A and B are shown apart, each in its own frame.
Chain A
């Protein structure tokens, strides 16, 4: 890919934030689906299975952002600056929006509509 190609610009300005968006969607959708599937009722090595799975997905996204930061290193000019700033911003955003999963039980709160017919199915 030539240094000044439009594809490189598109990648540099969006890749980091797309990883953040992926992390956000995976955490939100994973939480919903995990609560539906009852993953939160199981434990693995003393860790809530759903929390562990979400934390793993979160960590993988952070690693992907670290890899992007490293990959943008040799780039030059204004694009390098913008790509690295946006990757750093995406990493900070991923950390900030994801950390609550380590602090809260995953399915606490109002039950999902689809489980309301079954009073024995607790989501907390």
Chain B
């Protein structure tokens, strides 16, 4: 066995990351996770300053501090920044930094994708901040309701900034979700069973699944609203067969699960920290896991409770009211488990626990007002008043911010290797806690007194003067608290006492390493002895550092981590990981240029930028892979494992599968939108229907089937070692894919009514664009597999590219067939 010091020195070389400006090419999760966290906190302080402007404006009646237009920008950007640029990225940052460590891995499944996600987030955020600085920020509320946000009522680029900037940021979130799922399921330490995973990983697994399903409806909504604004396609225009309520459905199909997407990771932190401070396992662990899954599902059945006042049959309202009350039960299961754990343990009051106690108080209050708002009659009274503002802040600040600040203090020694100052943090907590409750408890009363939200000025004499003044004073107390917290974190990072290893005596693996950690986390990957590894085996970290685990081979010049069976956690393969690369930054800049071209109406910029992005992604994928079948790798303890290029669980295959889940959610949302307009919107049937014969659409369907069949044949031929048959099948698939790309529009465009005339034509146009985009990308997939085969990257064992092409074509053929039916069948006989 290599001497531990020599092993670490060698790993330092293999996992080296460049310094200075070259560090922008870093893809390691330690760096990317820290960047996400730091950037999110920066945006939090920007959002917080906007909140102070709001409270300054509302402190007195008829204040002239901000005019109406500026006030609209300020409250819109406050909500937008806090939801999209702070909460979700902070979750991603914690997950990216912590998950590999908690799971006993050396990095995430797709380090470059994580870096790409970060750059997309940063660029999208900078677009929004730039617009704010230029006075062009979005001003239609963080929900962008139509028709207020259409081109007639919101001319200029303000709304476009929101729609395009947020879509850009959401690409980052979906990328992170795929990365999190694949890492959790296939890259755990040896023997870490699914049921024994750290609770934070369980929560993040469920949350990432929710992100895949929950974000695409908003991406669809944003794209079609942008199309309406830029090209006049009337998806939401009631005069031309559209329906403004379709936007509300798409927005809240995302927006309500979003609340739980934000809450569940925070609850995961609570479920991780409370056992540590109680020094005992979580009470009812399996019940908590079940409640997390139940919560995730039920949270998708609540969206209409944001729309109780729009005019929906009473029975439908009661369905959603019942579901909204129901979700309190799995939440309560977790609350009681946390309380019982503290009750049965020996908790010692430390600063993170203080934040958790604050969370319990504030979140329970927010949950109870949530049940009140789930009741339709009360909701009708409180709708769009400050009561709702108070409720949502109790839920989001209590249910998200407090646990994450607990997490910041808890993992601070891990991030910086130092402890925070003992007094300053307590002062900050109490100022924030008291300031928060002063601000928002009183705001419930302001709302009950009838004060509407999103209004920047009010007349005196309505009973709103005093509660508003108290709320504003409270908010400034809270702001002082956050200022102290910032000072505490900055000073402690440089001057705090050096932290011992595992200062909280936690049970999870991230504390089984020196802090701050090395880029490779573990010198060797240890076998995990159950759900509380460091309590079962306190010297596990020392043994891993001494190279007693797996993959301790110092002679290898490649970044490696173990891949595992998703259920048993037993190692099944070795994942080869990429080194620092400029490709993620370059690809994000190219994609950002597409968005900037659309935003600034420089449409000429978008196609070349999109082509550049495609070339960069091609280059990105090309740099992975082997030209020879690799021999199994000696991992230690006599265990030889194949590398990921030759196994079914290759990260590339799993990643595409989960990406298609998100794509499927987008597709179902599109079908929902189509069906919704056709059945519910006014102004139907349309004045003109699609006029198309039978031959061209059928030819398009045959081309889809041929491309799918030929790709499948190529996989089959490859498995038999028939190289010529494989390449010929791929060539046939490429021809069929290109034919489908031409035949699908040929069957629709000649007889399609104008997309500007009626929402029917607009929907036809969008469905066609979706189908054609997929066949065109399918052609790229097949061409890529063909080129890889020609260059010697494919064999009977090495077949990831082929399987991905097959998977893409299975999806494209299935969705293409459904879209052909959806476009052509309603028009037959008209």
The one of B185, B312, B316, B330 that contacts A6, using a Cβ cutoff of 8 Å: B185
How far in angstroms is the closest Cβ of chain A from B497?
A: 42
Q: Complex Cα distance A5/B568, Å?
A: 9
Residues B322 and A96 in contact, CB atoms below 8 Å apart: yes
Q: Say whether B548 faces chain A, with CB atoms less than 8 Å apart.
A: no
A86 and B293 in contact, given A113-B238, A113-B680 (Cβ under 8 angstroms): yes
How far in angstroms is the closest Cβ of chain B from A105?
A: 7
Residues A100 and B286 in contact, CB atoms below 8 Å apart: no
Q: Complex Cα distance A81/B223, Å?
A: 43
Q: Which residues of A contact B245 (CB under 8 A)?
A: 113
A93 and B326 in contact, given A21-B297, A21-B300, A33-B679 (Cβ under 8 angstroms): yes
Q: How many A residues are at the interface, by size bracket? A: 35 or more
Residues B567 and A24 in contact, CB atoms below 8 Å apart: no
Q: Which residues of B contact A31 (CB under 8 A)?
A: 313, 315-316, 319
Residues B323 and A97 in contact, CB atoms below 8 Å apart: yes
Q: Which residues of B contact A93 (CB under 8 A)?
A: 294, 298, 323, 326
How far in angstroms is the closest Cβ of chain B from A99?
A: 8
Q: Say whether A60 faces chain B, with CB atoms less than 8 Å apart.
A: no
How far in angstroms is the closest Cβ of chain B from A107?
A: 5
Label chain B's interface by main secondary structure. Answer: helix
Label chain A's interface by main secondary structure. Answer: helix
Q: Say whether A44 faces chain B, with CB atoms less than 8 Å apart.
A: no
Nearest to A103 among chain B residues (CB) is B318
How far in angstroms is the closest Cβ of chain A from B415?
A: 33
Q: Say whether B290 faces chain A, with CB atoms less than 8 Å apart.
A: yes
Q: Complex Cα distance A21/B257, Å?
A: 14
Q: Say whether A69 faces chain B, with CB atoms less than 8 Å apart.
A: no
Residues A113 and B311 in contact, CB atoms below 8 Å apart: yes
The one of A9, A82, A97, A116 that contacts B319, using a Cβ cutoff of 8 Å: A97
Residues A78 and B195 in contact, CB atoms below 8 Å apart: yes
How far in angstroms is the closest Cβ of chain A from B285?
A: 10
Residues B313 and A123 in contact, CB atoms below 8 Å apart: yes
Q: Which residues of A contact B243 (CB under 8 A)?
A: 113
Q: Which residues of A contact B312 (CB under 8 A)?
A: 109-110
Contact mask for chain A residues 80-124; partner B; CB cutoff 8 A; 1 contact, 0 none: 011001100110010011111100111111111110110000010
How far in angstroms is the closest Cβ of chain B from A55?
A: 12
Q: Complex Cα distance A75/B185, Å?
A: 22
Residues A28 and B316 in contact, CB atoms below 8 Å apart: yes
Q: Which residues of A contact B315 (CB under 8 A)?
A: 31, 100-101, 104-109
Q: Which residues of B contact A20 (CB under 8 A)?
A: 297-298, 301
Q: Say whether B317 faces chain A, with CB atoms less than 8 Å apart.
A: yes
Nearest to A4 among chain B residues (CB) is B567
10 pairs, A vs B, C-beta closer than 8 Å: A17-B294, A32-B316, A100-B315, A107-B313, A107-B315, A108-B314, A109-B316, A109-B317, A110-B313, A113-B243
Known: A100-B318, A113-B680. 6 other contacts (CB 8 A): A31-B316, A85-B286, A90-B297, A109-B311, A109-B314, A110-B312
The residues of A with any CB-CB pair to B shorter than 8 Å are 4-6, 9, 13-14, 17-18, 20-21, 24, 27-28, 31-33, 35-36, 78-79, 81-82, 85-86, 89-90, 93, 96-101, 104-114, 116-117, 123
Lowest 10 CB-CB distances: which A-B pairs, in order? Answer: A110-B311, A109-B314, A17-B297, A100-B318, A6-B566, A109-B313, A78-B195, A97-B322, A85-B290, A104-B315
